[in-house]
Chains A and B, each alone.
Chain A
Amino acid sequence: MRHSVRIAVGPVQFRIGSDWAGPVAALDRLYAGYPRDDARPADATVRLFAARPWRRWLRPSVHIGGDFIVPGALPLPLSMGLLAAEMAMNLQVALGWRRHLLLHASAVARDDRALIMSGESGSGKSTLAALLGEGDWRLMGDEFTLIDPAGGDAFAFPRAVSLKNEAIAEVAARVDAARLGPLLAGTPKGDIRHLIPRADAIAAMHAPARPALLLFPRFGRAAGIESMGEGEAFVRLTEASTNYVALGEAGFAALTRLVRETPAFGITYPDSAAGIALVEELWAEAAR
């Protein structure tokens, strides 16, 4: 393809091709601090392309493709090319990765032990992970957490964090502006701005962490903690995994082990400060 870039996020080496220079330049900037090994063959291929040649210039719209394609997915305007790239990278990992059990969850680590947060879009799992990652936690990722089926360890996928709507201002107030991507206003997912993880989080992206606490956050209610049984955590995580079925017995073994060995809680919180306080409180118990 006309423009391309190679990016390694956690264990996944991406090859991203694009019909336009813009998305590749934006990725280059966001991922400049990530380790580069241009000789390493790619695990996943992403393509950002115009459906018709003239749509490269005339009302340019970015279609998402690569190793895996979702038929009928709507294209995005070129101004949202970075979001298209992010969605395409997620898609390839979600559908193609088989080395680990994939959880649609954010994670942070402290002392090589991981806090994993799973929830739907809007639950606040990305924002909590981003804010904790600015404190004394290592950000492991805001989208996927990888569980090693053999040993049970969690592995990081620290892509650039996708901050949405109110979370943008909240995080922007605390970090150096150089660590923020361009504001993508009015996307189908709302306003989006990417946060580049801290350099120490990127440097440690291959380091495993032992799962120590599972949280299912829900933003927008009074602060509360509810203990969760193994069965419920298991069912919720099968739904949060994109490759649980494909991994068969290995996926079942990895997930049962995770919910048996890791205490799980549902938490509700009215604002980020309260959410972080709950996390620290539960962590103090779990990590004892």
Chain B
Amino acid sequence: MSAVAAFVDLLAGRRDPAGLAPRDWDGVIGVARSEAMLATLAHRLDGAALPHAVAALFADQRAAAEVAQRQALWEAEMARRALAPVGIEFVLLKGAAYAAAAMACAAGRQIGDLDILVLAADIRRAENALLKAGWEWVKSDPYDDHYYRAHMHELPPMIHSGRDRMIDVHHTILPKTHRITPDALALVSDAVTSGDGFAVLQPTDMTVHCAAHMLADGDLQGGLRNLWDFHLMTRDFAAADAGFWGQLDGRADLHGLQAAVHRAARLSRDLYGAVLPGGWDRQDPGDAWFRRRLLARDDWGRVTNPLLEQVFYIRSHWLRMPPAMLAKHLWTKWRKR
């Protein structure tokens, strides 16, 4: 039995954890750790009949994730206190947003950096306000700094000197040089307020961003986690609003991200058993490559197909910038090695 298949089956609810042999758990836990999803699995299997050692480890993970989320939301509050006095409102993105909105995918989800979205017009003032409030630059490399400012969708990463936590300040959700240009103004102006009082993207935009982050921007590192977010949020948004899938289609089209959103939906069906409405429930031969990339882990948590990983890495750069610019960028990066 492949460990990554067992892991995905357990999340999807297709496999009874009681049916796993004691030693099968090594691989499942190894894969879950390498995907940064051990606490997510621990939540998914909360209350299931598990070997004692696994139950104890999962309880540790749930408790640790709760602390980590509280710390992540505190960091969001710190950003609010730095930016509110200068009149800058921001929208929380990704993990912190899911936690602030108490979404199902937030249960046990690891939250890395604080990701926030501000209007492009506010970005310089946001930067100054954060620098005054104790954040500082992480990268000192002038090329990287220039590259971020000229071509990326976010400021160069900053870290808070006292709390040692990173913040990524975005002004849109894809690099400026990307073939696709989402409507950043619509993202910010249609944001909604979460239960915690933070602004988060409205449901269709949040879903589009999740798909964009997974399939249009990155190289599918952490893809299983992003896909799990996508699966749970679409399931719950559709349950709350019967017209959700139709609205999602329209919104994805507005941002130019229909292909990514549809692919994410199909992959969530293939891996996690999502039920899709008509018009979404199709087959695409290209999906097989994505499935293979997402499942390329052995029972020691290692990537099993480095060549495929490399192909997706190159693809992510190919999407991010035009060929001539890509060549120049890779040349500069290579000379700096």
Contact = CB atoms under 8 A, between A and B. Distances in A.
B partners with A: yes
Interface stretch (B62-70, B125-133, B203-211, B264-272): B62-70
B64 A45 contact: no
A39 B57 CA distance: 15
A236 to B, nearest CB: 19
Contacts of B54: 41
B22 A40 contact: yes
A41 B61 CA distance: 15
Interface residues of A, number: 21
A36 interface: no
Interface stretch (B25-33, B91-99, B231-239, B280-288): B25-33
A55 interface: no
Contact of A17 (B57, B61, B68, B300): B300
Contacts, number: 54
Contacts of B67: 246-250
A13 B33 contact: no
B71 A41 contact: no
Nearest to B74: A248
A99 interface: yes
B233 to A, nearest CB: 27
Given A67-B30, A98-B61, A246-B68, A40 B53 contact: yes
A58 interface: no
A38 B60 CA distance: 22
B51 interface: yes
Nearest to B298: A1
Nearest to A247: B67
B301 interface: yes
B60 A41 contact: no
A41 B51 contact: yes
Given A41-B51, A250-B63, 18 more contacts: A1-B300, A13-B53, A17-B300, A38-B23, A40-B51, A41-B53, A41-B54, A42-B29, A45-B26, A45-B33, A67-B33, A98-B61, A98-B64, A246-B64, A246-B68, A248-B71, A249-B67, A250-B67
17 contacts: A13-B53, A15-B26, A41-B29, A41-B54, A42-B25, A45-B26, A47-B302, A67-B33, A67-B34, A67-B301, A97-B60, A98-B61, A98-B63, A246-B68, A248-B67, A249-B67, A250-B63
Interface of A: 1, 13, 15, 17, 38-43, 45, 47, 67, 97-99, 246-250
Interface of B: 22-23, 25-26, 29-30, 33-34, 51, 53-54, 56-57, 60-61, 63-64, 67-68, 70-71, 300-302
